[in-house]
Structure 1
């Protein structure tokens, strides 16, 4: 597939953005970029450690810088955003201006089951990760929908099935 815009994946932590992003990048022979991985490279530590030392607001500053830089690049790519990237209005503007945005919608209950043993996502290191996901969903779902060109529901599907649905939506959308 030849694309003239970036493809950006948004959704709750653990919804499959990185896994599906890698699949799509291979399918379309374009680079895959994980915003969180770029941030960790830039800050020279894990996001979890950075959160603990610097706080969420400082993390969101770095995230905004990295996302803007990636979206400004001429060479198009599949970009897996952090789950909270849509919280800042500036990021939503950049995403809608420079990418086709796909919201990977997944049930907080399903994500909580999938991430039971996860220790790397700072926002989910709480006593009740399911409740945190439900709370995040209430706040973020309207923002994901605001920026999305496509919404692809992934609950009950394998990552490959979701990736195939995303590819179909994007490919059909670029030809219409």
Structure 2
């Protein structure tokens, strides 16, 4: 893994485990971990929910792109992005040019179960979470599929997904 000379950027829908798996992946690789959503909240001095409510999704995505660009320049490490980041064409191009994108994927039942654990997802507030996730999965998969590495995040220990990522990166290198 010493051959990795750029940030590893985890992309995929909410609930696939980008943050929880990303922390463990960074620890195994002895690299810094950054959750882009946390960095966005810190930069904006407000929560993502508040940003969506006060400024709308488009302004949030603009800020998200700027923060991810800064993170990509700062250091080698593992970055977990928000679910919609890689869907934005400019952000996706930036990640593909300067990072190693890993698409974490999961089946719909797994996603629904995982996102039901917390009530902090602004896109799930106005309807049935299963229906919204199914729609987002269909809409976003063409963008996510542009990531060079695709790993399934199945139910079970996070270490299983970490191991699958490590194996996929090793094969890709």
Shift in Å at residue 104 of structure 1?
0.4
CA displacement, residues 146-169 of structure 1 (integer Å, 9 cap, x when unaligned): 1x1110012344322111110121
Alignment-derived partner of residue 113 in structure 1: 113
SS at match of 1:9: strand
Q: CA deviation at 1:118?
A: 1.8
Match of 1:80 in 2: 80
The question of whether the paired residues in 1 share the 8 Å contact of 2:87 and 2:144 is answered with no
> For the Cα contact (< 8 Å) 2:52–2:122, is it kept in 1?
yes
Q: What residue is the counterpart of 1:160 in the other structure? A: 159
Q: Determine the C-alpha separation between the residues in 1 that align with 2:40 and 2:165.
A: 25
How high is the TM-score relative to the length of structure 2? 0.94
Counterparts of 1:35 and 1:101, CA distance in 2: 14
2:51 corresponding residue in structure 1: 50
1:35 paired residue number: 36
What is the match of residue 125 of structure 1? 125
Q: Runs (4+) of structure 1 moved beyond 4 Å?
A: none
2:100 aligned counterpart, secondary structure: strand
Contact 2:112 2:130 in 1 (8 A): yes
Could you tell me which residue of structure 2 aligns to residue 96 of structure 1? 96
Deviation at 1:32, TM superposition (A): 0.4
For normalisation by structure 1, the TM-score amounts to 0.93
Distance across 2 between alignment mates of 1:127 and 1:155: 25
Distance of 2:123 and 2:116 partners within structure 1 = 13
Alignment partner of 1:25 is 2:50: no
Structure 2 unaligned regions, length at least 5: none
The answer as to whether partners of 2:11 and 2:144 remain within 8 angstroms in 1 is yes
Residues 69-105 of structure 1 show CA distances to partners (whole Å, capped at 9, x for unaligned) of 11122x2010101100022111111111111111001
The Cα RMSD (Å) is 1.2
